[in-house]
Structure 1
């Protein structure tokens, strides 16, 4: 059985490469070895290497943890501001339907 090969958009690949590079740069600027940062995150050094290369299979939580530990801002400059940013998103989501159903009939919009 052939494995499904997932393709990623150019923007996604570039963003992963950028985040990985920023993590690696910040780690080196803080004079942390790969082994030291990996130990702080609780992962293998090889997993950190995948993160720093921008590999798309790296868990997003691990990428965010690595970024946070080396001082890369995630969405806001001050991490203590994150909870304040969550509430407005949750408020907007509460106004929308819980699920989106696929349309049963095709909409004819060629006037």
Structure 2
């Protein structure tokens, strides 16, 4: 059986996920909501919520965003209309770019003197 490759994350990623988890845990506790209550609202197990609050980067991104929405944590400066507008603007800009990226051609260096 082949060994599985362990995913490593950049320190910034680990720190950012940890901050997000702490924000979720702080807001949940400040609202006097139990872990079981929030997990139930999110449709996940309490263990998954604990992993999210502890900053596990393998927890699904959409789940983290949903927890923030349920708790009223704003991750962006805009409201829903602002986020929608930003997304539409980004989609328009993306249509102007090529459909796929081509690898850069490397030119051979002539070291013959």
TM normalised by structure 2 equals 0.88
Corresponding residue for residue 77 of structure 2: 76
1:98 aligns with 2:99: yes
Distance 2:107 2:88 in 1: 35
How much has 1:79 moved relative to structure 2? Answer: 3.0
SS at match of 1:20: helix
Corresponding residue for residue 16 of structure 2: 15
Unaligned 5+ residue runs, structure 2? Answer: none
How much has 1:81 moved relative to structure 2? Answer: 2.3
Distance 2:67 2:9 in 1: 22
How much has 1:107 moved relative to structure 2? Answer: 3.9
How much has 1:87 moved relative to structure 2? Answer: 1.1
Please tell me whether Structure 1 or Structure 2 has the larger radius of gyration of its CA atoms. Answer: 2
Distance 2:74 2:107 in 1: 43
How much has 1:2 moved relative to structure 2? Answer: 1.1
Distance 1:86 1:41 in 2: 25
Runs of 4+ deviating beyond 6 Å: none
Could you tell me whether the CA contact under 8 Å between 1:68 and 1:74 is conserved in 2?
no
1:4-40 CA deviation, whole Å, 9 max, x = no partner? 0111111000000000000000001111100000111
Unaligned 5+ residue runs, structure 1? Answer: none
Corresponding residue for residue 90 of structure 2: 89
C-alpha RMSD over aligned residues = 1.5
